[in-house]
Structure 1
Amino acid sequence: MTMDMMRMCTQTQTLQNVPLSIRGGHSRNILDVFHVRRQKDKVVIIMGATGTGKSKLSIDLATRFPGEVINSDKIQFYEGLDIATNKITPQEQRGVPHHMLGVLDPNVDFSADDFCDVTCRTVESILNRNRLPIIVGGSNSYIEALVDGYDKMFRSRYDFVFLWVDVSLPVLHSFVSDRVDQMVENGMVEEARAFFDPNADYTKGIRRAIGVPEFDDYFQYGPFLDEETRAGLLEQAINAVKDNTCKLACRQLEKIRRLRNKGWSLHQLDATEVFRNNGKESHEAWDRLVSGPSAMIVRQFLYNVKADVPTNLPAIRVPAAMETAALAAATY
């Protein structure tokens, strides 16, 4: 196991006396972890295309129901490229513990099996602290491997609820384009330049990230071109980042729909109106259409509260004492 894997396991505060060898197949000892409690524990899984607000929702829920976030974005596992990969900032995290976020060496590979191993250990660690694990990210193939693969271990061990933050593609594509422009203003080009290597393999590690290979020609040939030609090459690279991000959103949405057709029960939360508005109206739409209904879905999931989920109410916080007591009771 590499030092990066050890660091990830340490960062996720894994259980004591559980071996950290997560490569080369599943550790036999992890099987013991799944038989500690008598009933299934509960996990929240947030899905959606890039840019739809998954991270924001995870923070909203983690602060309502004492929880911790587990990143499932395969590129955000890595250190670096915080702008290009759109990592949630410490300020945006609002004190919520995050796991598997920015902890891997940029050059190592991290497979779906690795993700499943570390995620299961992290879930157990969070549950042992009587807190709610919230898995969030756009790498749906990794989520599928966790839920339907891994010898069905995850399904047999946990109950989980899927929240799908959805935005109509035309609205999302417009937002993505504007977001890339903002990333450029925030220093994405300079950030990517630090990772430029003319001999780099763009199929491995963090260099797979959208926002790295698109600038290869600009970094390689730009210094030898006149200012106008160089500016044109930069514009082409930025447009390629926008196009590839939109294509990624389409693939992610297609994958989610396949999972739904496969039988996954996904709670779809349409955030389109949020992105069509600005300022106060956008915040109100988020509370009414996404955060509020999600909180009620999770409350029903955790505490078996039988109630319809309204679509016209702002976010409602369940009393923290009741949430904590219910989570603690559900642990044994």
Structure 2
Amino acid sequence: MEKILIIAGPTAVGKTALSIELAKQYDGEIVSGDSMQVYRGLDIGTAKVTTEEQQGISHHLIDVRNFDERFSVADFVQLSSALITDIHARHKLPIIAGGTGFYLSALVDGLTLGGDEYDQDEAIRVKWRNYLQDFGEQELWNQLAAVDAPAAQKIPVSNSRRIIRALEVYERTGQRFSDQTQAKTPQYDALIVGLTTERSLLYERINQRVDLMIKAGLIDEAYELYERGGFEFQSGRGIGYKEFAGYFEGHQSLKEAVEKIKLDSRHYAKRQLTWFRNKMTVNWFDLIQNPEQKADIEGLIAGWL
């Protein structure tokens, strides 16, 4: 079974720097596990690694899509699997670096694509969100109960997000959500190194990172995407871009847009941590407060290799 090293965790904890350091140390190549860094031109808002920062290490799955193209978890699994095989054929270590939890789970565990976290068609999602706004939670739940009673029995009326996911799956695939399987069949010998830190410190780092993005030209980058109609596509719905829509349209201040980016980024970091802790077997380290744990990471990798 092919080995892959995964550097996971929430945003702003140093995954990029560690992955490059380990790639240099263990003769590795890096495959981005981030769902937004695939888009050309979206550099600042996605914290895309620069050529200088790459330090000569090969990076993959960066700048492989135009802003108006979709990139799904199925695309990620297909492309990254081919890359892993190719990297191994050159006797190097594949290192997956990034924070999109479902992408990593789908790759490692061979999940059935099409379950509740699959990237559904946006038109279907919007339709059910509008239905929720017009008719309320109970009527939304009734719609699910009519087409998939077993799923409805397991999902509380108040969990509208999951209800919408179930309705999306049914409408897109014609199969009941309750019949979808997410059986895990490990595809790789994966070692997962997770980076994290104390919550208040993490949030402070996220806020600082957003401020640095603004200084680096994020507003101009987002406006260029907006002007090209990118906010109508998957690329424009990423954190760091979508929050500017109100500002560009003249009914929100720049300060409000920036604060919304910080808030959404903090919420995303919290969801990332929840995913990794509940869905994957992760070896956690805090290199921000305990940089000496780098030696523990090296020892863990050495034993695994």
TM-score (norm 1): 0.67
Which residues in structure 2 correspond to 1:135-174 (within 5 Å)? Answer: 135-150=96-111, 157-174=187-204
Residue of structure 1 equivalent to 2:148: none
Contact 1:210 1:241 in 2 (8 A): yes
Which secondary structure does the structure 2 equivalent of 1:293 belong to? Answer: helix
Q: How many residues align?
A: 236
What is the percentage of aligned positions where both structures have the same residue? Answer: 32
Q: Supply the AA of the counterpart residue of 1:257.
A: R
Which residues in structure 2 correspond to 1:37-116 (within 5 Å)? Answer: 40-116=1-77
Residue of structure 1 equivalent to 2:242: 213
Runs of 5+ consecutive residues of structure 1 not aligned to the other structure: 1-39, 223-231, 274-284, 303-332
Residue of structure 2 equivalent to 1:294: 297
Contact 1:43 1:134 in 2 (8 A): yes
Distance 2:44 2:55 in 1: 19
Distance 2:91 2:228 in 1: 48
Contact 1:123 1:133 in 2 (8 A): yes
Residue of structure 1 equivalent to 2:262: 242
Contact 1:171 1:272 in 2 (8 A): no
CA gap 1:58/1:106 in 2 versus in 1, 3 angstroms: same
Deviation at 1:265, TM superposition (A): 2.9
Distance 1:250 1:165 in 2: 13
Q: Which moved more, 1:124-133 or 1:176-185?
A: 176-185
Distance 1:48 1:111 in 2: 20
Q: Supply the AA of the counterpart residue of 1:270.
A: D
Residue of structure 1 equivalent to 2:205: 175
Which residues in structure 2 correspond to 1:245-284 (within 5 Å)? Answer: 245-259=265-279, 264-273=280-289
Aligned Cα root-mean-square deviation (Å): 2.1
Distance 2:237 2:33 in 1: 16
Deviation at 1:153, TM superposition (A): 11
TM-score (norm 2): 0.73
Distance 1:213 1:52 in 2: 23
Contact 2:108 2:186 in 1 (8 A): no
Deviation digits for residues 183-238 of structure 1 (CA, Å, limit 9, x no counterpart)? 11111111111111496555x3211221111111211227xxxxxxxxx7011111
Which secondary structure does the structure 2 equivalent of 1:254 belong to? Answer: helix
Q: Does 1:134 find its partner at 2:95? A: yes
Runs of at least 4 residues off by over 6 Å: 151-154
Which residues in structure 2 correspond to 1:188-203 (within 5 Å)? Answer: 188-197=218-227, 201-202=231-232
CA gap 1:158/1:213 in 2 versus in 1, 3 angstroms: closer
Runs of 5+ consecutive residues of structure 2 not aligned to the other structure: 113-181
CA gap 1:126/1:154 in 2 versus in 1, 3 angstroms: farther
Contact 2:225 2:231 in 1 (8 A): no
